[in-house]
Amino acid sequence: MSALLQVEGLTKHFPVRRGILRRIVGHVQAVTDVSFAVAAGETLAIVGESGCGKSTTGRALLRLIEPSAGSIRMEGTELTTLSPARMRQMRRQMQIIFQDPYGSLNPRMTVREVLSEPLLLHGVATPATLQAKVAEVLGLCGLSSFHAERYPHEFSGGQRQRVGIARALATRPKLIVCDEPVSALDVSVQAQIVNLLQDLQRQLGVAYVFISHDLAVVRHIATRVAVMYLGRIVEEAPAAELFAAPLHPYTRSLIAAAPRPDPAAGRAKASVEGDAPSALAPPPGCAFHPRCPVAVERCRSERPELRGIGPTRVACHLAEPATDRALPRPLDADTPLARRLAVLAAARARKQEGTAA
C-alpha cells in the first residue's frame, strides 16, 4: 500500500519555562513517537480523552504546530523540512476543519471572501471563474449560492460548520484533518454533518484524519482507529476490529464507558479509576498502569512497545489475541423505533413527490 500520508516517530514536546530567566524546567510530552499511515480516500480516526495529544497530532501534521521530531511524508514529500513557501503550497493538498466554526471564521468576511482566498491563493480559480467555483463548493456542502453574501454570524451552528467544510474543500485537498468537527453541534445537526463528510468522501475521494473523543461517531465514520493515551498510540486497528475485539485495557474501558441510548443495555461501567496523569511527568513503564485494572509488576517498569496481533497494533504487555468478539448488532427492522422511522421516511417521500409534481 502506498500511503497518502506517512507519519513516523512524530513527537512534540512543549518546553515549560519558569523564573525570571525563563529557564526550561521540564517538557509537556504532548505527543511522543507517533507513527501511522493514511491511505487515499480512507478515514483514520484518532480518539482519546482530553490531553492525550490528539489535537496536537492533527495540527502538527499541517505544521500549524512545529513538530519536535519525526517525519511526515505527504505523497512522498517530506513536510518537516519544507520551506515556509513550499509548505504553503503543500497546504493546497492538506486542509483542516476545526471544532468551533465560529472561532475559526473571520467575522468580518462574507462567506464569498472566506472561500475566495484559498481559491485565488492556490490558483484553483481565476477572477473570471471565481463566481462559479464558489457556487460549486457551496453546493457540494449543501449551501446555496445566496449564502455567499452572508457573514458567519448569520448562520446556525450546523451551517457554519458547512462553511468551515466548504473552505477546507475549496482547494480540493487530498487530505482533511477534522479536529472534533461535530462535538459542538446538537445531535440532529451532528448527524447531518457526519453524513455530509461521508458523502464528500465518496464523491471526491478525500481522506480524513478524524480527531474525536466520541467513540460512537468514530465507529460510524472511521476506516481505521488509533487510540491515544498520554501522547502515545496505545492501539491501532481497522474500525470493525477495534470495536469487536479491543485488545488494550484502555480501549476496552473507553468503549465500556460510552453511554448507550438503550435502557435495556444496562449501565456503562466505570472500569477505570481516577484521572489521567500529567503529561509533564508521565508515569514510568506503561503510562496507563496507575489506572489499569489488570496491571502487573512488569507494567510499572517497562514501557510496552506497539506490536502486531492480527490486524491490530497494540502497546500492552498482556494483550493476547481476542477469543470472543462483540459483533455489532444490525439495526433491527422490527423495533418500534425502526417502524416509526419508516413511517416518517415514507411521509417525507410522499411530500417530495407532491412538491415535484
Partner 1 sequence: MAAPLLSVEDLRVEFGVDRNVFPAVDGVSFAVDRGATLGIVGESGCGKSVTSLAIMRLVSVPPGRYAGGAIRFDGQDLLRLPESRMRALRGGRMGMIFQEPMTSLNPVYTCGDQIVESLKVHSDLSARAARDRAIELLDLVRLPSPAKRVDDYPHQLSGGQRQRVMIALALANDPDLLIADEPTTALDVTIQAQILELMKDLQDRTGTAILLITHDLGVVAETCDEVVVMYAGTVVEQAPTAALFGDPQHPYTVGLMAAVPRIDVAADRLATIEGSVPPPWQVLAGCRFASRCPLADDRCRNEPPPLRAIAPAHRVACWHAPIDGAAA
Between 225 and 319, name the residue whose CB sits nearer to partner 1.
225
Extract the C-alpha cell encoding 225: 482507529
* Of positions 210, 243, 289, 319, contacts partner 1 by CB under 8 A: 243
* Binding status of residue 254 toward partner 1 by CB under 8 A: yes
How buried is 309 (Cβ within 10 angstroms: 0-12 exposed, 13-18 middle, 19+ buried)? middle
* Of positions 328, 333, 334, 356, contacts partner 1 by CB under 8 A: 328
Question: How far is 42 from 222, CA to CA, in rounded Å?
Answer: 8
Between 73 and 220, name the residue whose CB sits nearer to partner 1.
220
End-to-end CA distance of the chain: 49
Stretch that binds partner 1, among 65-73, 89-97, 156-164, 167-175 (CB under 8 A): 156-164
* Site map 261..290 versus partner 1, x via CB under 8 A: xxxxx-xxxxxxxxxx--------------
Please answer whether residues 200 and 178 qualify as being in contact, where contact means their C-beta atoms are separated by less than 8 angstroms: no
Question: How far is 238 from 157, CA to CA, in rounded Å?
Answer: 31
* Binding status of residue 50 toward partner 1 by CB under 8 A: yes
* Binding status of residue 339 toward partner 1 by CB under 8 A: yes
Closest among 128, 99, 101, 126 to 114, alpha carbons compared: 101
* Of positions 43, 55, 253, 312, contacts partner 1 by CB under 8 A: 253
Stretch that binds partner 1, among 58-66, 68-76, 249-257, 309-317 (CB under 8 A): 249-257
CB of 93 to partner 1, least distance (A): 28
Between 148 and 255, name the residue whose CB sits nearer to partner 1.
255
Give the three-class secondary structure for 136.
helix
Please answer whether residues 256 and 83 qualify as being in contact, where contact means their C-beta atoms are separated by less than 8 angstroms: no
* Of positions 222, 255, 287, 316, contacts partner 1 by CB under 8 A: 255
* Of positions 84, 259, 321, 354, contacts partner 1 by CB under 8 A: 259
194: which residues sit within 8 A by CB, 6+ positions away?
Answer: 182, 217, 220, 221
Strands 43-47 and 207-212: parallel
Question: How far is 348 from 92, CA to CA, in rounded Å?
Answer: 39
Helix (H) or strand (E) holding 115: helix 111-121
Between 190 and 312, name the residue whose CB sits nearer to partner 1.
190
The site for partner 1, by CB under 8 A, has a size of: 65
* Binding status of residue 331 toward partner 1 by CB under 8 A: yes
Question: How far is 228 from 218, CA to CA, in rounded Å?
Answer: 14
Between 58 and 158, name the residue whose CB sits nearer to partner 1.
158
Stretch that binds partner 1, among 9-17, 123-131, 207-215, 293-301 (CB under 8 A): 207-215
- Neighbour order of strands in the sheet with 69-74: 23-38, 5-18, 69-74, 77-78
29: which residues sit within 8 A by CB, 6+ positions away?
Answer: 13, 230, 231, 279, 280, 282
* Of positions 216, 306, 309, 322, contacts partner 1 by CB under 8 A: 216
Question: How far is 249 from 242, CA to CA, in rounded Å?
Answer: 12
Please answer whether residues 52 and 276 qualify as being in contact, where contact means their C-beta atoms are separated by less than 8 angstroms: yes
Between 132 and 326, name the residue whose CB sits nearer to partner 1.
326
* Binding status of residue 194 toward partner 1 by CB under 8 A: yes
Between 21 and 331, name the residue whose CB sits nearer to partner 1.
331
* Site map 4..43 versus partner 1, x via CB under 8 A: ----------------------------------------
Chain position carrying cell 519558569: 18
Please answer whether residues 246 and 323 qualify as being in contact, where contact means their C-beta atoms are separated by less than 8 angstroms: no
Helix (H) or strand (E) holding 204: helix 187-204
Stretch that binds partner 1, among 14-22, 90-98, 182-190, 307-315 (CB under 8 A): 182-190
* Binding status of residue 325 toward partner 1 by CB under 8 A: no
In the complex, the residues that contact partner 1 under the rule CB under 8 A are: 49-50, 156-159, 186-192, 194-195, 198, 213-217, 219-220, 243, 253-265, 267-276, 326, 328-331, 336-337, 339-348, 351
